[in-house]
Amino acid sequence: MSKRLCLLTGASGTFGTAFIERLAERYDIVAVHYRHEVMFASQDQIFIDPLDPSIPIGANRHPVRTIRADLANVAAIDRLVEEAGGGPVDLLVNAAAIRSSSPLLAYDALQHAETTIGVNVLAPLRLSVRLAQTQWRQCPDANVQSNRNIVNILSTTGLAVYEDHGLAVHAASMAALNHLTCHLASEFWDIGLRVNAIALDPFPDRATIDEAVDAAADLDVSARTGHVATFYRRARPPGGPQPSPS
């Protein structure tokens, strides 16, 4: 049985890395990265044992296909959709995000604002719409049959206010992505495509990330749409931020 095709952005980030680690066996993953490399076997890299490079390594059994793309660049998103190839995407995971942090009264408060909005909001929107235009819109029945869907990875900064951490722009972008998830779910329903989101604690521990990855996989096989699942770390760091209801 062939594996589902998953297009994963933010593949070298914390969530993306955990996603590949836990789910490379289940999906054919197109791993989209930009600034840093993906640390898994791919078309350009394999694991070796430094003490015996000739012996087979299990971690090479499920290589990902990596594509470097600057998601702040509109043309790069078009190229990405072309390069992803390999048939219609079954699962799009929008996990790329810029986590900029700057107090609004700082002299360079808005230095990264446009890029943050561009990567965190417009890129997942453009990628979703572009895939809908080029792949999904033509085959609603196949989308339903293959249970195709989108999972947006956002942060709980988009659901509650974390005071005094310089997260205003980042939080605004996450709130926008949260809202966008619901609108995408509503409109893509017409072409048989589900859209959900996972909101992660902005200071997650490993267990929380693993739970969120498993939740993404669960959403993929579910029938849900328009749902936002939240994952807060259980033990908050001493003196760490406490969310206030927005």
Partner 1 sequence: MHCWGAEVADLDDILANRRWLRRTMPFPHIVAREVFRDTFYTALANQLTAVVERRTEAGSRPPLRPIPGYDAYGGGFDREQEGPLGLFQTTAWRDLLSGLFGITPTPYVFAGTHYHAIGSRNGFIHNDCNPVWFPAAAGLSIQTPNYAMCDYKTGAGTAPGAEKVQVVRGVAMIFYLLNDGWQSGDGGETGLYDSADADIDCPIVRCPPINNTLIAFECTPRSFHSFISNRRIPRISIIMWAHRPKQEALEGFGADGLEQWK
Q: Scanning residues 56 to 115, which ones bind partner 1 (CB under 8 A)?
A: 57, 59
Query: How many residues sit close enough to partner 1 to count as binding (CB under 8 A)?
Result: 16
46 in contact with partner 1 (CB under 8 A)? yes
CB–CB of 116/154 below 8 Å?
no
Q: Of the candidates 36, 206, 224, 236, which one interacts with partner 1 according to CB under 8 A?
A: 36
CB–CB of 31/20 below 8 Å?
yes
Q: Which is nearer to partner 1, 36 or 234 (CB)?
A: 36
Q: Among positive and negative, which fits the CA dihedral 44, 50, 54, 55? A: negative
139-150 in b/e form (b: 16+ CB < 10 A) is ebeebeebbbbb
Q: Which is nearer to partner 1, 41 or 91 (CB)?
A: 41
Q: Which is nearer to partner 1, 45 or 222 (CB)?
A: 45
Q: Of the candidates 1, 2, 25, 50, which one interacts with partner 1 according to CB under 8 A?
A: 50
Q: Of the candidates 1, 51, 75, 223, which one interacts with partner 1 according to CB under 8 A?
A: 51
Characterize the bridge pairing of strands 4-9 and 27-33: parallel
Read off the DSSP letter of residue 135.
Answer: I
37 in contact with partner 1 (CB under 8 A)? yes
221 in contact with partner 1 (CB under 8 A)? no
Rounded CA-CA distance 125/181 in Å is 9
Give the footprint of partner 1 on this chain (CB under 8 A): 35-37, 39, 41, 44-51, 53, 57, 59
